[in-house]
Amino acid sequence: MEREPNHQLRQFIADAGLSHKGLARRLNDLGAARGIPGLKYDHSSVLRWIGGQRPRDPVPALLAEIFAMRLGRPVCPEDFGMPAITAPLHLGQEFTHTWREGVATVTTLWRADVERRRFLLDSTFAIGAGSVGAVRWLTSPPDRPPDSRPTGGGGRKVGKADIAAIHEVTRSFGELDNRFGSGRVRSSVVKYLDSAVAPLLRDGSYGEATGRALAGAAAELTRLAGWMAYDMEHHGLAQRYFIQALRLARGADDHALGSEILAGMAHQAIYMGQPAHALDLARAAHLSASRSGHGTLVAAACVLEAHAHAGLGDARACGAALNEAEDAFTARVVGEEPEWLGYFDEAYLAAKFAHCFRDLGDGARCVSFARRSLDMDGRYVRGRMFNLSLLSAGLVACGELEEACTAAADAFALAGELHSARTRTYAADVRRRLEPYREERPVRELTEQVAEQATESVPV
């Protein structure tokens, strides 16, 4: 999606009698003088801004100061086509009531994220926001069908190729995320949402069916961006993305996708040590999964309910939910479920069982299911690291130190290849479980091996 050229900026540069290179040099120098070192803009940067790209703050304000000095009159960023983007501190935490409000909120969230607005990066997880989002998802009436008019303009006609492109981007970035970790690819996902998807939602022309398909595709990619933020342990930001993905799924009227997003929210809540909140979200996911008719989604919701019960120390309720998950998974109709559910196979289900038994302190059953989980698709590198960590934890609980250290070494090796905060947390959990046995030979050897690898990885 092409941006609209910034003709106002081009005119200001001409009126100020500056070359592109000269403007960039003055910008870098002024930034240094104002205590903002490290600005390294050049003539190419200025060309991109003229082409319609908006630079991050505080560049617009610095440009206004440069133009004001050259022209001898007050200038503000709005004068040369760079109006300030006002974003409330609660941006993205609300599940809005209307499609128009939802598009405005999610596109502003994407833009603020691209600009790395500090309030987003520093935001905290809010249980109330997640609960309200789940309630509104379950209780809101069907959305007004999105079409070319709810958000205004109605510009370029949106077609199947546009939606197919979003799906392909989601698939491709999802594979990269699983192989290399979210830290390597998330910024590219957010930039695509802002530069390619936002204009389609805001200004595209589309009828009801295409509008719902566009909303669904945007919801899938927004969910992925949220999952990536969660993987980097930016929990407040991740929660905002999940809530907005859920809002887009309402525009698509897609109960299956809504269930998947709610399940992701429950997954995050469990990870953060909020099992009661996770239980509420998992039950909401269960209701949506039942409406969708997909057995795998019901199983996914049930194992999250089980994991929440495990976190609450309720082994009986955990066992009942695991039985329900197993029954739903067995009854699924293979080939009739969404393509994006392909990750949820026997190995993934076994890993979720292992998580529950690990948290209940049942080492033997944790080991049993963790072993099954390793019979997995090799593309899921991060998932394998998690599953090896589960196996190591279960083996420690069973007193099998030597094998636990072997599994831990394999997990640590994979973690070193991944840019993922969660892998570091899993690795830290394994180290914590091994710490009481630090004087035992297998643990000492593992510690020495890890130290040696860390030394070898330091550039000379």
Whether residue 56 is contained in a domain is answered as yes
CATH number at residue 454: 1.25.40
Whether residue 110 is contained in a domain is answered as no
Buried b (16+ CB within 10 A) or exposed e, 252-264: bebbbbbbbbbbb
Whether residue 112 is contained in a domain is answered as no
Whether residue 334 is contained in a domain is answered as no
pLDDT in tens, 155-192: 678 999 999 999 999 999 999 999 999 999 999 999 99
Last residue of a domain, one of 45, 60, 80: 80
Predicted local confidence at residue 460, as pLDDT: 31
Predicted local confidence at residue 458, as pLDDT: 38
Angle (CA) 331-335-340 rounded to 5° is 100
Last residue of a domain, one of 35, 58, 80: 80
Predicted local confidence at residue 189, as pLDDT: 96
Number of H helices, E strands in the chain: 22, 0
Whether residue 323 is contained in a domain is answered as no
Last residue of a domain, one of 60, 80, 100: 80
> Residue 357 carries which side chain, given as an amino acid letter?
F
Whether residue 67 is contained in a domain is answered as yes
Predicted local confidence at residue 53, as pLDDT: 86
Give the Cα separation of 412 and 417 in Å (integer): 9
pTM value is 0.81
Predicted local confidence at residue 459, as pLDDT: 40
Domain count, the chain: 2
Tokens of 22: 């000269």
Residue showing tokens 């739903």: 328
Give the Cα separation of 59 and 75 in Å (integer): 14
Give the Cα separation of 438 and 441 in Å (integer): 8
Give the Cα separation of 102 and 200 in Å (integer): 14
Query: In the chain, which residues have pLDDT < 70?
Result: 1-3, 84-87, 144-155, 454-460
Predicted local confidence at residue 114, as pLDDT: 87
Predicted local confidence at residue 84, as pLDDT: 65
Domain holding 58, by residue range, is: 7-80
Whether residue 40 is contained in a domain is answered as yes
Predicted local confidence at residue 150, as pLDDT: 44
Whether residue 116 is contained in a domain is answered as no
Predicted local confidence at residue 146, as pLDDT: 63
Residue showing tokens 């990870």: 271
Predicted local confidence at residue 153, as pLDDT: 44
